[in-house]
Structure 1
Amino acid sequence: MDKRNKIGAANSIVVFGGVNQKWLPSMEAAGWSCHRCYDLRAAESLLLEMGPCIGVVDLSNDDFSLHSLAALVNRNKQVRWIAIVRDEQLSNEAISQFIVNFCLDYFSTPVPCERLKQTIGHQSGMLALERQVWPQLGQFGQQGLQGNTPIMKKLRDQVKRVALSDVPVLINGEIGTGKLVVAEALHQASIRAKKPFARVNCETVQAGWIDDVERQSYLDYANNGVLLLDEFTLLADERKKEILKILSDGTYYRPDGSILTVDIRIIATSSHNFDDLSELDTLTRDLYFRLNVISLSVPALRERGSDIVLLAEFLLLKYARQYNSVAKSFSEQAQVMLLQYQWPGNVRELISQIKRAVLLAENKCIEAEQLDIPRITEDKQSLKKIREESERTALLTVLENNKGQISAAARELGVSRATMYRLLNKHDLIPPPRCFRQG
């Protein structure tokens, strides 16, 4: 195997089950990077890392529960699946349905290596065409997700990887942090980007799933697309039971009693802290565990350091165009004020502030007095000092995340090792050699 190949590369194959496959060495010799998986519990994270790729499911040794394998395959539609079976297994209705429903092709043992290689090569070519025709797959607009701090880089990376899977996602964060923006980014970067995106205010769907405006069922509309449950803990108990059933077997009962099979990816948001699950009732706790396959945490605005100014400048240009305002920039004093304020209302509060300033602006530069923000008179820090403190905090955070390993910290920040040392020297953060030993 070419050791230079990395997860997510175009010539990657993920192989589930099977032992001593004679075709594997042939594929590896041809330059394919083959990733073996014998544990379905670890498969989800592996497939998230892989992104769009070729998946080979070896059913010939009955390594996995077919039901569990079908659920995994169904959740990961970004993978092009190929099955390997014994000839006698083709008389098994469940296995035949699995192949027909989920796989692009199948091979009987013993596997004809050259034919398999040709098929995998063709499917890899289809993946390349898919990326050419649909280049936005795995990408999303960064509106609301801008930032250069480690915490925002980490969130953007998580969104890109999680978007390519069909697993349920729980987005957590304080009120106003932009959880809906993250949910929309997940949808935009997924294979369901051109399918419906149904946002449900869970507090308002007490009696049923009918949208009062459109007079259409949210569940019908979201079929083949995404259902966003905004503040899922506020759902009525009957609605929670229906979501649990959809997550369990992909069906729900219509008001007329008929059963509808649906293919819906569910994303949920919550502003609650779930550290103490005992405070939840049994039904909500069960739903939490089913939704929390992948969790994303959206940071509070006060945790985003110097990124606050970057986001404010983006919003300024956005609303200046929208309202035909002359405003173009913030003064240094206004930037200091934006950085000093704690933003209890998070991004939602920032948007209101920017809109107000834009609408009242008479000059290109917005001054501090035009921002309706409480002033911190006792702390007259300069913009330079505040930015340096934010930079120092970011360095400490990334060092802690990487257990003091400077090379790893530099990679996370996207800078060279030399630049990393220069920044550490600047902030007097160079550790003694014995504290941050490499490897």
Structure 2
Amino acid sequence: MQDGKILVIDDNKSVLSALEILLQFEFKTVNTISNPNQISSLGDLNTFDLVLLDMNFSAGVNTGNEGLFWLREIKKKAPLISVIMMTAYGAVDLAVQALKEGATDFILKPWNNEKLLATIKSAYLLRKSQDEVKKLKQKESHLKQVINQDTNYIIGNSKALNAVLNLVRKVAKTDVNVLITGENGTGKELIARELHRLSSRQNEVFIGVDMGSISETLFESELFGHTKGAFTDAKEDRAGKFEAANKGSLFLDEIGNLSLQTQAKLLSAIQNRTVVRVGSNKTIPVDIRLICATNCNLDQMVNDGIFREDLLYRINTIHIEVPPLRERENDIIVLADFYLKKFASKYNKPSLRINHTAEEKLMSYQWPGNVRELQHTIERAVILSEGNVLKPTDFLLSKNAEISLETGPETLDDMERLMINKALDQHNGNYSAAANQLGVSRQTLYNKIKKFEN
């Protein structure tokens, strides 16, 4: 027995009795009324899964107009409800009209019980599937809202930052590809999210991909998806990041770290706006807003033959350069105050403040790690603070400063960081070339850099 609720409307009480007897063994609840004017007394029609509705209620009238009228009324009250029309007068044009008005199906009296039950069960399953689709859409909408919630903010009012934000506002409403460049820690992802927030796609999903963390062997699977059995661990079909971002924005961070082979695959997907899952020949169209970011000099990499010129043209319709923190005037103090309040609240130290001498120290520092370094510096100072005032000695900036060849490394970690920085400088930020020089895998190099940044 189906856990369904059926409503039968017919002026013939024999028909109502017959259908009630037939359906009581198939569905949990069967309600019957002999006059459609009684519909209003039933309460919310959305509680019903299916309605069986007679086409004619007045003696001597067989045009079906009464049934069509009540069909419209029912659909106004419950748009998703399945309605099956019943009549003793079969006419193709009447059936077509009923379907156009929103009926699910059409049956003739007298009916064959098996055919009637098959029709009713199909209509019932259709209603259930429509309910499921509605729930999934609501869930999808909620998930998009959660994913797109800003957990970080663009803080500052310097001329350099405002120039960037003005460009973002101009570009956001278009669908052009955007390349965001800047040093590590400057907030390139925040700019990408701002582009999405101000765009016409703001109610769709924003998908970010750290290209530096994806191994070359998993590149196609991660970005384009795969089918079940495509490779050893492919135990089910899976959509890639391009499909996941359909109708929304796709943010490819660290795009300068891709090998030439993966660059070619990415270029094809961007040009054609289609992807092919690993293990499939079917092309899947995707509608995305593409935003890329890197801290590498892509023009120099093109000259060196390690980045495709045609790919650079594709991703670089609009170029946004995010300024380093040292060029953002008084934003250092604005950001320091913001993070102080955030972490003072987090660690239950609400009375903390930074004194003037400490502010001068923060202002005079070059911040090679930019906003990310400032955030970690403030958090560490808050955690280790013992009084209510943060003094210059509470900010251990020397530990975060860039290591120079003149002073020399002090620890093994310092030496490792120095070697990595030198290798990246020599190869214009290209991770693959630097990893090859250092004799480690690109993934190992990437993990070490992430460790130093944290």
The normalised TM-score by structure 2 is: 0.48
Structure with higher helix content: 2
TM-score relative to the length of structure 1: 0.50
